[in-house]
Amino acid sequence: MAERPFNDISYNLFLNEDKLMGSKCKKCGTRSVPPRPLCTRCYSTDLEWVEVPGRGKLAAFTCIYIAPPFMVAQGYNRNNPYVSGVIDLEDGGRVDARIEGIEPESPEEIKVGTPMKVKFIHRKDTDSEETYLGFEPL
Amino acid sequence: MKKRRLGRGVAVVGAGMSKFDMFKDRDSRDLFAEAFTEALLSVDKGLDPAEIGALYLGNDSNDYFVRQSHWGPIIADVAGLTPKPSTRTEGACASSALAFREGVLAIASGFYDLVLVGGVEDMSKRTTEEVAEGLALAAVPYENRVGFTFPGVFGAVATAYFARYGAGREHLMDITIKSHDNAPLNPKAQFPYTSKDTMKAKAESLRKRGRAVPDWRDEKDFLFDPAANPPVAWPLHLFDCCPISDGASCVLLAGEEIARRFTDDPLHVAGIGQGSGRGLHACEDLTSFEATRAAAREAYAMSGLTPKDIQFCEVHDCFSIAELLHIEDLGFFKPGAGFKAVAEGQTRLHGPKPINTSGGLKCKGHPVGATGTSQIYEVWTQLRGKAGKRQVPIKELRIGGAHNLGGTGGTCTFTILERR
């Protein structure tokens, strides 16, 4: 099988397979999550996919009450808020993620720095399957 | 860093802006006509529009908001400039700051002597959810996909800032209250009310409807009441967020050596800077916008000025927390010290470093594509001593700044204007 191109389509396909993947430059070893099509450290295009351990710490978060239409379609609104956040990964790098397993209505209880682990959130629509990158407390 | 210079000096010789508001019966064309008319009238010795060489027009997303793209020639026609070139610039909420910068560079190159730069946005014909979606098109794809909205991204930034420096929601309220105190002094502002006015109006409305009126002690007590100030993207609540607005603004730029043909009091473009940023997942620091810092470095180096020299500044307070980051990134206060300075009143109209005398995006309004040149309009108005009741009370007011941000910090600009 030919290697998947180093782009967001492939990144999302890997998420469907419960894999958080990044690109690694074979020349200088720089890793990027999400993947990059070009190493911006040494400008090599000789890249490989690497799986990233899904552990880290909550770096920032927000509890969203005014949701965009696609989240409204999933049942979220001002009476049913959800949490989005930023995770500092254990061995470097940072990802944006949906945050589950914590109570959006008690935001004061949510602490930046909380250890987190990955949770792949699958959602089946009529003709497609999508996976959202999620994290939950360890 | 390399000190950049303009090949030829550039001056602002006129500026105008429409009223900002949500208008059912107005669109981009008549809003721009209002701004352009004021700009022409503001040129002390008069200016023949036939002398204008080109138009640079900022517009973020009228394509989405009113299902019409290609605003360059449409607005050139409104201003009677066809068949001269008109170029649209897009940098999300910083679109017209990019138009300003492109206009400066076009004159500095020697290609034109006089250009019109400006911006326009018509947002209010859509629902709030649709506007939120339209704006979020300018976020980073990874942010959108996991449900971040614009308020959401800035809400996340606020939690990082709180955790790092020990600030809280009450400090964001200081910014909101300050902006609302300036707004009634600006006849163009969308919300010309203080937060106390708003609190009283809310109480009156509850009383009229026969509801119980909470006994709010002061503005902060009012803002802490989730019934009065509901959460949008915690920790950001309604009063932390700028409104949906329609509006237009524009600026006339001329080569420095011909500027005095138009006015005895031109403003010199002392410094321009622009930077690009990478979004939450890749930025260096969640409590700072790298694009703002890059823009500031460039503008300070070019002008030979330092943050101390900037006597007042308009900054891009799309959300209260954003103003806090900007006043630190622009070097006015040390990282983590901004919220204390705001609490001490240092950024108030009568303080040592007035910020957002216009009322800011929060109260003046934020028709996104028009915001950048409307900030320049405020600096122009202040430096020429024409700001009326909101005039910065500093003797020998000479140097002002304007900072514009697009997306989630993807595009940032900093402009320094000087009256010599």
Distance CA B157, CA B189 (A): 27
Distance CA B294, CA B289 (A): 9
Chain B nearest C-alpha distance from A116 (Å) = 16
Cβ pair A68:B236 closer than 8 A: no
- Give just the sign of the alpha carbon dihedral B66, B72, B74, B75: positive
Interface of A with B (CB under 8 A): 8, 34, 59-69, 71-72, 76, 78, 81-82, 84-86, 94-98, 104, 107, 111-113, 132-134
Reported as a pLDDT band with limits 50, 70 and 90, residue A1 is: low
Taking a C-beta distance cutoff of 8 angstroms, is the pair B139, A64 a contact? no
Interface test with B, best of A65, A79, A118 (most B CBs within 10 A): A65
Which range in A102-106, A125-129, B368-372 is most confidently predicted, on average pLDDT?
B368-372
* Catalytic residue (one of B93, B241, B250, B412): B93
Q: DSSP characters for B95-163? A: HHHHHHHHHHHHHHTTS-SEEEEEEEEE-TTS-HHHHHHHHHTTS-HHHHHTT--HHHHHHHHHHHHHH
Quick: pLDDT tens for A66-98.
998 889 999 999 999 999 999 999 989 999 999
Give the number of C-alpha atoms closer than 13 A to the C-alpha of residue B247, restricted to the C-beta side.
30
Cβ pair A133:B132 closer than 8 A: no
Reported as a pLDDT band with limits 50, 70 and 90, residue A130 is: confident
* Beta-sheet strand order (sheet of A31-32): A31-32, A21-25, A47-51
Cβ pair B129:A34 closer than 8 A: no
Q: Calculate the alpha carbon distances from B287 to B65, B164, B171, B409 in Å.
A: 31, 8, 15, 11
Chain B nearest C-alpha distance from A80 (Å) = 12
pLDDT of B128:
85
Give the dihedral of Cα atoms B216, B217, B221, B226; nearest 10 deg.
Answer: -10
Identify the CA nearest to B246 among candidates B366, B376, B70, B118: B366
Q: Is the pLDDT of residue A126 over 70?
A: no
Cβ pair B232:A98 closer than 8 A: no
Residues of chain B with pLDDT under 70: 1
Q: Residue B326 catalytic?
A: no
**How many residues are listed for chain A in this entry?**
138
Quick: pLDDT tens for B280-325.
999 889 999 999 999 999 999 999 999 999 999 999 999 999 999 9
Which residues on B lie below 8 Å from A95 (Cβ)?
142, 281
Which residues on A lie below 8 Å from B146 (Cβ)?
84, 96-98, 132-134
Taking a C-beta distance cutoff of 8 angstroms, is the pair B236, B210 a contact? no
Instruction: Find the CB nearest B232 among A66, A85, A132.
Output: A66
Backbone angles phi, psi at B319, to 5 degrees: -140, 150
Which residues on A lie below 8 Å from B281 (Cβ)?
34, 86, 94-96
pLDDT of A128:
74
Taking a C-beta distance cutoff of 8 angstroms, is the pair A22, A29 a contact? no
Distance CA A7, CA A24 (A): 13
Interface test with B, best of A10, A32, A96 (most B CBs within 10 A): A96
The interface predicted TM-score of the complex, written ipTM, equals 0.96
* Catalytic residue (one of B250, B366, B403, B412): B366
Provide, rounded to the nearest whole percent, the portion of chain A with pLDDT above 70.
97
pLDDT of B410:
96
